[in-house]
Structure 1
Amino acid sequence: MKEETDIELQLSVYASAFDEFVDTGRYPVYGEEDVLMAYLVTVFEDCLGTQWWTDEILRDLLKNSILEFFSMLLSCFQQIEQRREIEWKYINAILNVKDLERKEELWEKISDYLMGQYSQYELNVGGYNSLLRQGEFDMDILFQKICDEWSLAYRRKIREEKQRCLNSSKKQFESSVGRSNMKDYRIMSRYRTISVKYKELKEIVSCMGREKEQTDELDTLIKQYIPETLSSSLAHSDIHGVEEGNDLQALMPTEVALLAEIATEDLFFMKYAMRQLQLFSGRSDSVWKKQESRAKRREPRQIKGPMIVAIDTSGSMQGKAESIAKALLMEITQMAKKQCRKCFLLSFSVRAQVLNTAHPGNWKKVREFMVSQFSGGTDGEEMLTTILHTLTKENYLMADVLIISDFEFAFCCKSTESRIRREQERGVHFYGLQIGNGLNVYKELLDKVWRLDL
């Protein structure tokens, strides 16, 4: 579960970098160890000015394909890091332990392993063993030197393995992305045409996005931790070494300095998501001071929660109704990405299923839904129960729910009706798009219902 969360965080960094380049033309700032961001920059350079970049639909398809590709690679990268995790543990153990004999004992345990992993040009383990046996140098300084060079060699090795993993996969990805995306392009273009044809769909997207809700300038208190010069009285024992992670209370000043410039902010957050920030393993209180300032910024008065789009996939929705439902889903998903909101697709006929369409790694499942055919019966009660469960599971406030259906199912039971009204009191909006001219018994319960007569 933690590994999946880490991948989600990293994918969001790459998705943001893509969007930032589209909006501003600014290339992302990244560390030399980030092989995926380096590859993303080459994609920008290759595609800039081509149809892949000038056509919005093709560009979105390219982004989805890249993130899907990166999701697979990040799983491989995690395995690479896990295989070499023992090295990082030994580096920190040797740096943090004070007893010299214990340092030597730890080094002796790992040195044979290291000789099998590195050539003498990458890390001269044999040479360090000779220096340790001679005992002519300050051992603390020598072990610090060993760990510094070992850390660099470790990072280079990790980067090389990740680069090999990328190189072995990207040729197949690049050769297939054009074919698959052009097929998806034809489908998405058809749905885009449908969404333009019906003005009601544009109105629904606007309501789901709460675009007309007022915003205002608010005073915001900003708290920053800024680095000070280390005190001259700082004892050597106060800092036991350097490690990687995302503990904001132990950041090295050089990392905090990344937040001082807009150009390097993204690098800081990327390193935070990947747990690669440089940290003090023991931090003196004199390293930081807190600074408060007040600034005016434009912020929404109300929180925008997630969006839930429940689509009736029963047989009665086949044909034009199915195409309209998919076209509207595509527009809402795009808006969710722009607003950085979660967007859940709940497809229901006999059984309801939930999918977060705004998640960068879920494009394959969204694609499968867009090309699937609707069939089966309708269980409206289960659909509403699943919506309510999704809302309460994460304690969502200010969510927007849209039900797309012909509404050819019975009114919900009393307990479900009561739960819906309670959610409405908490700020959740329930909308409906009725496709067809049948009787709709939900008009009084939902906040608003649009109707398209086919």
Structure 2
Amino acid sequence: MNRYTSAFYIQALDKYMKTGECAETDSEPLYAYLLSVMNDPIIKIQVLNNDICACIFYDTMVQFIKLNLEKERYNLQKSQSEQEGMELVLEWSIERRRHGWQALLKQLDDVYQEFGFDHRFYRGQFGQEGKYADDKIWEKMVDDWKEAFRQKNQKQKEEEIELRKDNLEQRMRSNFKNIPEYLDKNKVEKDEFFQSWGLMNGIWNTIDFERIRKIVRIQREFPEILKVANKMGRIADDDGQDQLSVAEGDIYRMEHASKCDILGITIGNDLNSLLPTELVHCADAELEDLFVYKYLTHKLQNFRYKSEIMQPARKLEVKPAVLKGPMIVCLDTSGSMVGKPEKIAYSLMVKLLEIADRQKRDCFLIAFSVSITPIDIRKERVRLLEFFSTTACGDTDATRMLKAMFQLLQSNKIYMNADVLWISDFKIPLSSPELTRQIQEYRNANTHFYGLQIGIAENEWIPFFDRIYQINYTPIRRY
């Protein structure tokens, strides 16, 4: 298994940012270069003693790592047929080996001579001694081919890093000097910088920075934005301390042996947890066909048990809130949100991105009116910035948004403890009982639902949320 994954590099970078510690060197080209930068004494002094430079360094190196890994994946995809060919060569018959070994060695010599592939040895073995029929020798040749292939890819990585590193280092030196000077000259607060920079994808220019900064500064006018962001980030705020479950591991368990294990009712085809009404259908000859149909379509009513749900083992402590799961933000982009409401929403999104980056936490945006637009905002920052240039329009229908939200919640056990936030004026027709029932089921399973209501419209959704914050914004009417 390949040790040098994206997570490996990010973990090394995270450790360096926290402690200043890293290895001296390594044989893998990208990691070796990363270590050489981190061990540079000038870089280390700037990064470990200045949080602005630390932020610039971290994001710049993350972008460089991603760029090189994407290029590596592309190169491997291009050579996929050759890798498959290595396995096919192992399956050649003795007859095919006898007729094909010379052409194969010629081909390998042309490509891999400088990477240590010894074609002369195998030419002697196969030609003079006829050992192409010896499976061990034949397999050894393919192993040497694979090793030469690996070395060739490694050299290609080194050359590509060499081509890019000068530009990277020049840009980083320039940013270390120019960005702090710009912030000081224009009296930009650090929090404004961190939020705005987080959306710039590691590329500095003052035009984009000021455009995003205007969005960030809306938080001064509407302090509720930070209250909502802090709640989503599980940061203790004016509401005081929260009594929270502290994760300590994943287990199946009941809260207490003497308590009822039933959490609610769901649908599925688990025959061990059928409601009594479904058992009656099963036992009735006239209703048996209906029972079979509901079983095949996963529409049987089942009890939902706490012990069936994978939950973190917990102990309760009264302490400042801590992060638990990903954030899912459902943003209303219908026509009623045009103007100031959408700017308020964008400002909250920028703050949530900064929190998600800081807490290493997934954050998904589901923009909805009638259709939906899902965005993984930590991975698709450019797309998010482009989204900020769009204008809200159309009617509002929560049905598709709810289905996309439930699909995310069901996709991975880590989403069970997610925080869901709706940003809307809540002029949204209440959805079907089936969909609203699912919201309650997820809340019972420790998914938190919060809302930011922009405006003073009547809100039918309040019973389905842990809390809905409100900005009493009244639009300016133009005549």
CA 43–407 in structure 1, closer or farther in 2 if over 3 Å, else same: farther
Q: Are 1:85 and 2:83 counterparts?
A: yes
- Residues 431, 447 of structure 1: 8 Å contact kept: yes
In the other structure, the counterpart of 1:374 is: 391
Cα distance between partner residues in 1 of 2:342 and 2:447: 26
CA 191–79 in structure 1, closer or farther in 2 if over 3 Å, else same: same
SS in structure 2 opposite 1:449? strand
Cα distance between partner residues in 2 of 1:307 and 1:372: 23
Match 1:207 to one of 231, 238, 248 = 231
- Residues 398, 429 of structure 1: 8 Å contact kept: yes
Q: Are 1:32 and 2:27 counterparts?
A: yes
Correspondence 1:376-395 to 2 at 5 A:
376-382=393-399, 383-394=401-412
Q: Are 1:74 and 2:72 counterparts?
A: yes
In the other structure, the counterpart of 2:376 is: 356
In the other structure, the counterpart of 1:323 is: 343
Cα distance between partner residues in 2 of 1:158 and 1:192: 44
* Letter aligned with residue 51 of structure 2: T
- Residues 100, 140 of structure 1: 8 Å contact kept: no
**TM-score scaled to structure 2, two decimals?**
0.61
Cα distance between partner residues in 2 of 1:323 and 1:59: 30
Match 2:158 to one of 163, 166, 173 = 163
CA 352–170 in structure 1, closer or farther in 2 if over 3 Å, else same: farther
Structure 1: unaligned runs, 5 residues or longer: 1-5, 221-297
- Residues 15, 63 of structure 1: 8 Å contact kept: no
Correspondence 1:244-259 to 2 at 5 A:
none
- Residues 430, 446 of structure 1: 8 Å contact kept: yes
Correspondence 1:114-133 to 2 at 5 A:
114-119=108-113, 122-130=116-124, 133=127
Q: Are 1:427 and 2:446 counterparts?
A: yes
CA 120–318 in structure 1, closer or farther in 2 if over 3 Å, else same: closer
Match 1:417 to one of 427, 432, 436 = 436
CA 453–432 in structure 1, closer or farther in 2 if over 3 Å, else same: same
Structure 1 position 392, deviation (Å): 3.4
Higher Cα Rg: structure 1 or 2?
2
SS in structure 2 opposite 1:397? helix
Cα distance between partner residues in 1 of 2:463 and 2:51: 45
Cα distance between partner residues in 1 of 2:425 and 2:160: 49
Structure 1 position 156, deviation (Å): 1.6
In the other structure, the counterpart of 2:63 is: 65
How many residue pairs align between the two structures?
363
Cα distance between partner residues in 2 of 1:191 and 1:63: 26
- Residues 435, 451 of structure 1: 8 Å contact kept: yes
Greater relative contact order (CA < 8 Å, ≥ 6 in sequence): 1
SS in structure 2 opposite 1:23? helix
Cα distance between partner residues in 2 of 1:196 and 1:67: 36
Cα distance between partner residues in 1 of 2:69 and 2:338: 33
* Letter aligned with residue 372 of structure 1: S
Structure 1 position 135, deviation (Å): 4.9
**TM-score scaled to structure 1, two decimals?**
0.64
Structure 1 position 432, deviation (Å): 0.2
Cα distance between partner residues in 2 of 1:21 and 1:77: 29
Q: Are 1:443 and 2:450 counterparts?
A: no
Structure 1 position 11, deviation (Å): 3.1
Deviation readout 1:20-59 (Å, 9 max, x if unpaired): 32222223688523x3333434554485455897316645
In the other structure, the counterpart of 1:453 is: 472
Structure 1 range deviating more: 206-215 or 299-308: 299-308
**Percent of aligned pairs sharing the same letter:** 25
Cα distance between partner residues in 2 of 1:320 and 1:347: 17
Match 1:153 to one of 129, 134, 148 = 148
Deviation readout 1:249-308 (Å, 9 max, x if unpaired): xxxxxxxxxxxxxxxxxxxxxxxxxxxxxxxxxxxxxxxxxxxxxxxxx98659933321
Cα distance between partner residues in 1 of 2:221 and 2:19: 31
* Letter aligned with residue 398 of structure 2: E
Structure 1 position 64, deviation (Å): 5.7
Cα distance between partner residues in 1 of 2:138 and 2:439: 64
Match 1:54 to one of 40, 51, 54 = 51
Match 1:181 to one of 204, 207, 211 = 204
Q: Are 1:365 and 2:365 counterparts?
A: no
* Letter aligned with residue 356 of structure 1: D
Cα distance between partner residues in 2 of 1:419 and 1:218: 26
Deviation readout 1:154-208 (Å, 9 max, x if unpaired): 3221111233344455667778897943344444544554447654334333432
Structure 1 range deviating more: 204-213 or 176-185: 176-185
* Letter aligned with residue 435 of structure 1: I
Structure 1 position 80, deviation (Å): 4.9
- Residues 14, 37 of structure 1: 8 Å contact kept: yes
* Letter aligned with residue 231 of structure 2: C
- Residues 25, 36 of structure 2: 8 Å contact kept: no
In the other structure, the counterpart of 2:297 is: none
Cα distance between partner residues in 2 of 1:141 and 1:411: 70
Structure 1 position 366, deviation (Å): 2.6
In the other structure, the counterpart of 1:262 is: none
Structure 1 position 401, deviation (Å): 0.6
SS in structure 2 opposite 1:427? coil
- Residues 58, 185 of structure 1: 8 Å contact kept: no
Q: Are 1:13 and 2:5 counterparts?
A: no
- Residues 365, 376 of structure 2: 8 Å contact kept: yes
Cα distance between partner residues in 2 of 1:437 and 1:375: 19
